[in-house]
Amino acid sequence: KVLCATGVVAGIITFFWKDDFNPESLSGARVLVTGASAGIGEQIAYHYARFGAEMVLTARREAVLQKVMEKCLTLGAKKVFYIPADMSSPSEPEKVVQFAVQKLGGLDYLVLNHIGTNRFQEWTGDVEYTRWLMQVNFLSYVALATAALPTLEKNRGALVVVSSLTGRMPTPFTTSYSATKFALDGFFSSLRHELIMQKRDVSVTLCILGLIDTDSALEYTRGKVHISASPAPEAALAIVRGGAARAHEIFYPRWLQQLCRLWALFPSSGNHVLRTFYNYSSP
């Protein structure tokens, strides 16, 4: 009964909860978005554009970045530049931040969103793939944030880190991916403590997302999960709002927050139920 009542109260608070989002604060804001050529990152770029931000977009594919840049300009972005970069190369993060600072004269937001190809399959023992994914999904985030911290600190800026439910609650078929997302939580939540203790005014927003209907996610989960995907534009807006409100964490869809709390209370039965959402046929 107590649990049920807690759930109802939490649901009501969530329903009526308003964040401190002020859309005008994003007009003229200087933003660097990674993984901006497709999926959620592309939608993040369009939201910032509608709010009148100045942006640098990055990903690997130049032709696609060019198209996203053109659309951002039609949507209302004040300035847009792009820089193609492969985040599996350790020298790229610093180059990208330098480019953004030079083009925009500083940064107010760094949105870390890109990921390397996710296999969504059982563990096959490919240690090299895990090493590569750690570089793309985790170490490049650390390097980008480190290079951007001085300019973010000067501008009372914000670090926005896109993570996943599987970075809070391990799920099947995501061994390496889940490891990179847990690493992000550990690093950036620890960094947040230090920034607060040092009174350095840079916020850190960790974004915990459920399944989102991007082409890549629908492709790699097809036939493997019984979970419906939420819309990428809404996920992107939740991320942009959370960063602007300087929230420590955002969950999208919002009910994921209650799910994580329930799972922490009842991990064993939670894991049992979780496995029923995944298709597994033994060899």
Rounded to 10 degrees, what is the CA torsion of 241, 243, 246, 247? 70
- Give the separation between CA 219 and CA 120, rounded to whole angstroms: 10
Please count the other Cβ atoms lying within 10 Å of the Cβ belonging to residue 82. Answer: 24
Query: Which CB, 51 or 252, lies closer to ligand NDP?
Result: 252
Residue 217 touching ligand NDP (CB under 6 A): yes
Residue 243 touching ligand NDP (CB under 6 A): no
Q: Is 177 a catalytic residue?
A: yes
Q: Which of 33, 100, 104, 115 binds ligand NDP (CB under 6 A)?
A: 115
- Applying CB under 6 A, the site for ligand NDP has a residue count of 27
The dihedral through the CA atoms of 89, 114, 101, 20 has a sign that is: negative
Q: State both tokens at 243.
A: 């960063």
For residue 161, CA distances in Å to 185, 240, 254 come to: 9, 11, 17
Q: Which of 26, 55, 77, 87 binds ligand NDP (CB under 6 A)?
A: 87
Q: Among 17-25, 59-67, 101-109, 119-127, which window interacts with ligand NDP (CB under 6 A)?
A: 59-67
Residue 162 touching ligand NDP (CB under 6 A): yes
Query: Which CB, 116 or 243, lies closer to ligand NDP?
Result: 116
Q: Which of 30, 114, 192, 241 binds ligand NDP (CB under 6 A)?
A: 114
The dihedral through the CA atoms of 70, 34, 96, 85 has a sign that is: negative
Residue 60 touching ligand NDP (CB under 6 A): yes
Residue pair 65/57 in contact by the 8 Å Cβ criterion? yes
Q: Which of 40, 183, 206, 238 binds ligand NDP (CB under 6 A)?
A: 40
Q: If DSSP states are collapsed to H, E and C, what string results for 197-220?
A: HCCCCCEEEEEEECCECCHHHHHH
Residue 45 touching ligand NDP (CB under 6 A): no
Q: Among 31-39, 70-78, 168-176, 259-267, which window interacts with ligand NDP (CB under 6 A)?
A: 31-39
Cβ density class 15-37: b for 16+ within 10 Å, e for less: eeeeeebeeeebeebbbbbbbbb
Could you list the residues that contact ligand NDP (CB under 6 A)?
35-41, 59-61, 64, 86-88, 113-116, 136, 162, 164, 209, 211-212, 214, 216-217
Hey, which residues are catalytic here?
A: 177
